[in-house]
Amino acid sequence: MSEKVLMKGNEALAESALRAGCRFFFGYPITPQTELAAYMSKRMPKEGGTFLQAESEIAAINMVYGASAAGARVMTSSSSPGISLKGEGISYMAGADLPGVIINIQRGGPGLGGIQPSQADYAQATHALGHGDLHVIVYAPSTVQEMADCAYSAFDVADKYRTPVMILADGMLGQMMEPVVLPEPKNTAPEKPWATVGHNHARPHNIVNSLFLSADKLEGKIKERFERYEVIKRDEPRAENFMTDDAEIVVMAFGASARIARSAVVSAREAGIKAGLIRPITLWPFPAFAIEETIATAKSYLSVEMNMGQMVDDIRLVVAGRAPVEFFGHTGGVIPTPQEVLAKIEAMHEAIGGKAAEAAAALTGGKAGA
């Protein structure tokens, strides 16, 4: 096993991608993602790979398209405004069934926004990363170790399903250092018989393309792709449930805000409140199973996010009215504190207690009246 080292999240993503066999990186600098590209610029040439700083984010994502079409393991990274620019290219990749890894170290938006940590691109990543009927697998690591692990497995997942994969982190996770054990280098990329590589007329031409002018043909393509999405939804959802076995107040949070929520849940337990945490590791596919596991004991749900409330809608779709779903968050780069989240949990606990008391009183009153 490798030695445990202290690394920034951005650097761990880069090193782990290299160890997963990524040999092409195309990017354009943006805070708070810059260390990732800087690390790649130093390390990639030593691995015999290609690092290229493109003239723009749009150019970079189209270079990713090209390298992927030629069968390479390829990655790009950016931060929120840059990801919006890449949206077109990501859609083209999805439409051409091209694997590739895209990293978003989120900052505050909309527009240029700010450079402090944010989770305001949740909805973009999970619902509309580009135009058209498409999904992209989205991972939301919450520690530097998990960032390394996600980057390592993302390429395999992308190749397996022939789809772009996004790792959605933020400025806090990208900039912070934590101990990490890096994975062993591997070279396990599968054969890609569809890749557009030279073959001396040994077989018919491969064509990588997202343009299908026949409506019937395009519909067929999309339906075939959605069958693959169904497999992904069945096999790939991941979440960590923490102290949820008997939880009455179930907090749900991903990435950086999950760290804060976890501290708040631990404090709530110390105060005698039955709180628990669901931490989605995949945001798409959304880990509905993790909510179902808690529904029997849950009296209410709380989504904690670093935005104005985006994942909360997906939680409501799963909970489907079986319990109230509330939201707490900060946006624009403001980081919630565990104390604030704890205060919200305590308020919800009191509300539940109050309702339970009312219900008990109503019940007693009813009996007395009968």
Partner 1 sequence: MATQAAQATQNIILAGFGGQGILFAGKLIAYAGLLEGREVSWLPSYGPEMRGGTANCSVCLSDEPIGSPLVVSPDVLVALNQPSFDKFEHDIAPNGLALIDSSLVNCTEKRDDLHLVGFPATKLAEEAGLKGLANVVTVGRLFAEIGFCKKETLFAAVEKCVSAAKIALVEKNKEALELGIASFEEMKKVSERRPRKEGE
Contacts of 160 (CB under 8 A, 6+ apart): 190
Phi, psi of 38 (to 5 degrees): -65, -40
Contacts with 228 (C-beta within 8 Å, 6 or more apart), sequence order: 161, 162, 163
Minimum CB–partner distance for residue 29 and partner 1 (Å): 14
Please identify which residue in 17, 19, 26, 32 interacts with partner 1, judged by CB under 8 A. Answer: 32
* DSSP string computed for 238-278: -EEEES-TT-SEEEE--HHHHHHHHHHHHHHHHTT--EEEE
Sort strands 300-305 and 275-280 into parallel, antiparallel or unpaired.
unpaired
Query: Which span sits near partner 1 by CB under 8 A: 119-127, 233-241, 257-265, 351-359?
Result: 257-265
Closest separation between CB of residue 333 and partner 1, Å? 8
At its nearest, how many Å lie between partner 1 and the CB of residue 176?
A: 4
- In whole angstroms, the minimum distance from the beta carbon of 293 to partner 1 comes to 21
Contact (CB, 8 A) for 50 and 23? yes
Question: Helices in 96-214 by DSSP H: which ranges?
Answer: 122-127, 144-161, 171-175
115 binds partner 1 (CB under 8 A): yes
* Interacting residue with partner 1 among 4, 42, 127, 199 (CB under 8 A): 4
Per-residue contact string for residues 291-330; x = within reach of partner 1 by CB under 8 A:
----------------------------------------
Single residue of 84, 175, 196, 210 touching partner 1 by CB under 8 A: 175
- Among 45, 110, 132, 179, the residue binding partner 1 under the rule CB under 8 A is 179
Does 172 bind partner 1 (CB under 8 A)? Our answer is yes
Q: Which two tokens stand for residue 195?
A: 């890749």
**Shortest distance (Å) from residue 18 CB to partner 1:** 20
Closest contact distance (angstroms) between CB of 264 and partner 1 is: 8
Which bin fits 272, alpha (ψ -120 to 50), beta or left (φ > 0)? left
Residues that bind partner 1 (CB under 8 A): 4-6, 31-32, 115-116, 171-172, 175-179, 256, 259-260, 262-264, 266, 335, 337-338
